[in-house]
């Protein structure tokens, strides 16, 4: 089977490609490499791996010929509360890009299209939110992801299977590391200063999921009968990993087994949401294999060993802001 992964050199994509290559798939990675190629360097010379350095907004549609499955990960994949990134870039990359990828995939005979979305589309609401809950996106990131969901879902048919995966907040080690995610960032802070910074009041809830469990969910959809996933939306995570920020801080601090302290900051954050992951468990028999404790210990060891380092491109919005200021994101005239 031939799988094309957009954003394949990124945080999730590089872990996914490793898994798919292990399973014997032929992989095409379509990535503009805005964040570099570190995540895919080990695969460059493999016969079953092909890299196309292109932008989802402008790539040659012929790269989709002979592809069986497209996994669409390319995105500005982080909220931007300070408004540092132009709204038109969110629109182009998170909405217009997936619309183009999905439409061209359908026209070129791709059988299955999977898009990574986010549980952030629910906004902040009381109760346990499931796939039937009314979305309430609060910023451009979530708004454009929801727009893309609705657009690509409208293309689904018996010949073109479309599946939407709403990811919980991802954590865990990747060759293309990120330290702007809650578990990863807390672990980095613990490593650097034996301090975990927690935004007040600490009771706000977030669902989390390990990056390798995200790839497990994607593989489950790739290998599922189309009838079971076509036109469907799945939250990706587990009910057991809806944690308060304070709980996460304690889990991460205790996991390393070294002295630490918690420092509080900011005005009280009343935003809180918990998500129901029953559907993916019952429909695809999916349940996570990793916990935040395991994930943070692995990251901490990698930091100690020098396998990962803190660098500017490990923070998505700051790096997109840099690329924007350098005019590296402009499309050719």
Domain extent listing, the chain: 2-325
Q: What is the pLDDT averaged over residues 24-32?
A: 98
Q: What is the pLDDT averaged over residues 11-16?
A: 98
- The answer to whether residue 207 scores a pLDDT higher than 90 is yes
**Local confidence band at 97 (pLDDT 50, 70, 90 cut-offs):** very high
pLDDT on residue 83: 77
pLDDT tens-place string over residues 243-271:
999 999 999 999 999 899 999 988 877 67
pLDDT tens-place string over residues 317-328:
888 888 898 888
Average pLDDT of the chain to the nearest whole number: 95
Q: What does the block give as tokens for 210?
A: 């390990």
Which class is 2-325 in CATH? alpha beta
pLDDT on residue 270: 67
- The answer to whether residue 82 scores a pLDDT higher than 80 is no
pLDDT on residue 322: 86
Q: What secondary structure does DSSP assign to 143-188, as a single string?
A: HHHHHHHHHHHTT-BTTBEEEEEEE-EEES--SS---SSHHHHHHH
**Local confidence band at 332 (pLDDT 50, 70, 90 cut-offs):** low
pLDDT on residue 272: 84
- The answer to whether residue 14 scores a pLDDT higher than 80 is yes
Crossing angle for the helix pair 245-256 and 182-193, to the nearest 10 degrees? 50
- The answer to whether residue 101 scores a pLDDT higher than 90 is yes
Q: What is the pLDDT averaged over residues 278-307?
A: 98
Q: What is the pLDDT averaged over residues 147-172?
A: 98
Q: What is the pLDDT averaged over residues 204-229?
A: 98
Q: What is the C-alpha separation between 130 and 276, in angstroms, rounded? A: 5
User: Residues, the chain, total?
Assistant: 333
Q: What are residue 156's phi and psi, to 5 degrees? A: -65, 140
Q: What is the C-alpha separation between 116 and 136, in angstroms, rounded? A: 18
Spatial neighbors of 123 by CB under 8 A, at least 6 apart, are: 135, 136, 137, 138, 142, 273
Q: What is the pLDDT averaged over residues 42-71?
A: 97
End-to-end CA distance of the chain: 36
Q: What is the pLDDT averaged over residues 164-180?
A: 98
User: Before 201, cis peptide (omega within 30)?
Assistant: yes
Q: Identify the CA nearest to 72 among candidates 3, 156, 160, 170.
A: 3
Alpha helices in the chain (DSSP H): 11-22, 87-90, 97-107, 140-153, 182-193, 211-223, 226-229, 245-256, 278-284, 292-305, 316-325
3-state secondary structure of 79: coil
Q: What is the C-alpha separation between 168 and 8, in angstroms, rounded? A: 19
- The answer to whether residue 50 scores a pLDDT higher than 90 is yes
pTM above 0.75, yes or no: yes
What are the distances in angstroms from CA 218 to CA 104, 297, 302? 21, 24, 25
């Amino acid at each position: 089977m031939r799988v094309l992964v957009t954003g394949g050199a990124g945080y999730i994509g590089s872990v996914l490609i490793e898994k798919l290559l292990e399973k014997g798939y032929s992989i095409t990675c379509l990535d503009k490499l805005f964040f570099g190629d570190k995540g895919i360097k080990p695969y460059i010379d493999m016969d079953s791996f092909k890299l196309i350095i292109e932008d989802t907004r402008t790539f040659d549609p012929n790269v989709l010929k002979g592809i069986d499955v497209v996994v669409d990960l390319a995105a500005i994949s982080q909220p931007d509360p300070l408004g540092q990134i132009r709204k038109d870039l969110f629109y182009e990359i998170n909405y217009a890009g997936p619309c183009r990828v999905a439409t061209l995939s359908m026209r070129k005979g791709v059988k299955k299209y999977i898009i990574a979305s986010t549980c952030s589309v629910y906004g902040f609401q009381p109760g346990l939110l499931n796939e039937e809950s009314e979305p309430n996106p609060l910023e451009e990131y979530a708004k454009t992801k929801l727009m893309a969901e609705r657009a690509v879902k409208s293309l689904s048919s018996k010949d073109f299977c479309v599946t939407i995966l709403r990811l919980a907040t991802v954590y865990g080690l990747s060759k293309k590391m990120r330290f702007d995610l809650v578990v990863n960032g807390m672990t980095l802070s613990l490593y650097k200063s034996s301090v975990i910074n927690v935004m007040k009041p600490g009771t706000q809830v977030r669902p989390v999921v390990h990056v390798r469990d995200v790839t497990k969910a994607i593989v489950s959809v790739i290998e599922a009968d189309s009838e079971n996933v076509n036109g469907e939306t799945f939250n990706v995570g587990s009910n057991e990993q809806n944690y308060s920020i304070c709980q996460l801080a304690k889990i991460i601090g205790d996991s390393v087994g070294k002295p630490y302290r918690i420092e509080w900051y900011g005005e009280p954050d009343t935003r809180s949401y918990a998500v129901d992951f029953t559907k993916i468990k019952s429909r695809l028999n999916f349940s996570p294999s990793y916990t935040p404790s395991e994930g943070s210990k692995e990251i901490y060891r990698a930091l100690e060993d020098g396998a990962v380092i803190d660098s500017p491109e490990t923070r998505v919005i700051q790096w997109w802001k840099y690329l924007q200021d350098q005019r590296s994101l402009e499309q050719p005239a």
